[in-house]
Amino acid sequence: MSCQTGNIGRVFHALGDPTRRAIVEKLSEGPISVSQLTQPLDITLAAVLQHLQVLEESGLVRTEKIGRVRTCSIEPGGLSAAEKWIRDRRTLWERRLDRLGELLAESGEE
Amino acid sequence: MSCQTGNIGRVFHALGDPTRRAIVEKLSEGPISVSQLTQPLDITLAAVLQHLQVLEESGLVRTEKIGRVRTCSIEPGGLSAAEKWIRDRRTLWERRLDRLGELLAESGEE
DNA sequence: GGGATTGTCAAGTGAATACTTAAGTATTGT
DNA sequence: ACAATACTTAAGTATTCACTTGACAATCCC
């Protein structure tokens, strides 16, 4: 299996920060360097680097350094665990609501 | 529209905490009271209450007090904004990777 | 009424967070 | 070689967080 589970907490925590979400959104358009990433944000490059570390540890982002520039890109499977967790919750309680609906319909019929 | 956007940050932040995820998971099975919610968790009722406040503000959970017991339940649309954000990112970069794949295939063919 | 249950509120505490600054280290271009 | 670029690292700071304690309120049951 491609994705280690147990990162769900880290992923949600990473996405809880607006700057980090902005980084992920930017990277969705394609890979760019740390300084390019920093430019539109209103914080120092050092701060961006710290966010990138969080994002890497959560498995959402991958970075590679070539020469003096570190290029950041989306890790394509990074969101799947979180997506699955959400989907699982949804189906669980939708199923529950359906059962509830049936019960109400039955009791209304007789 | 049923869901206020702008909560995405709050939702992700709320789900970043393991205790809060445990609460949501428990509530997925059905509505229960605050003390029932507290019982399996290793923290005080007051702490659970604080988590519940975060969850309510994020739109993930709804609570209602009847008599002396406050009953907590899932707010069924609460995850949709987060789900949409994730889906949007995914389709964005999958589309990008597809284009990239096409380019590589083309250059390999000739 | 009185005692148990269930929840509420307000401080307070220690740890984690998101930043900054400042002083490095490589790498590249001239 | 030298200067600019692009990042790295460490230390410090203010804020936010998760949690506790303890005093309080409301409700239920006998």
Per-residue pLDDT band at A109 (split at 50, 70, 90): low
According to the model, what pLDDT value does residue A110 have?
55
**Which of B34-64 are b and which e, b meaning 16 or more Cβ less than 10 Å from the residue's Cβ?**
beebbeeeeeeeeebeebbebbbebbbbbbe
- Chain B interface test: which of A89, A92, A98 (most B C-beta within 10 Å): A89
Whether residue A20 is predicted with pLDDT greater than 50 in this model: the reply is yes
User: Which residue's CA shows the smallest distance to C1' of D10?
Assistant: A46
Long-range contacts: B30-34, Cβ < 8 Å, 24+? B30/A96, B30/B73, B31/B71, B31/B72, B31/B73, B31/B74, B32/B71, B32/B72, B33/B69, B33/B70, B33/B71, B33/B72, B34/B63, B34/B69, B34/B70, B34/B72
Query: What are the structural domain ranges in chain A?
Result: 8-109
Q: B103 — contact with chain A (CB < 8 Å)?
A: no
Point out the residue among A14, A79, A86 whose CB comes nearest to the CB of B90: A79
* Residue A105 predicted with pLDDT over 90: no
Chain A residues touching B55 at Cβ < 8 A: none
CB contact B16 to A (< 8 Å): yes
DSSP state of A71: E
Segment A56-93, tens digit of pLDDT: 999 999 999 999 999 999 999 999 999 999 999 999 98
Q: Searching chain B, which residue's CA lies closest to the CA of residue A82?
A: B86
pLDDT at A104: 77
Interatomic separation, CA of residue A36 and C1' of nucleotide D15, rounded (Å): 28
Among the four given CATH numbers 1.10.10.10, 3.90.76.10, 3.40.960.10, 3.40.50.1110, the one describing domain A8-109: 1.10.10.10
What count of CB pairs under 8 Å joins A to B?
Answer: 76
Which range is least confidently modeled, A31-40, A46-55, B95-104? B95-104
Mean pLDDT per 10-residue interval, chain B, length 110 residues? 68 98 97 98 98 98 97 96 96 85 70
What pLDDT is attached to residue A3? 41
A43 touches strand C (CB under 7 A): yes
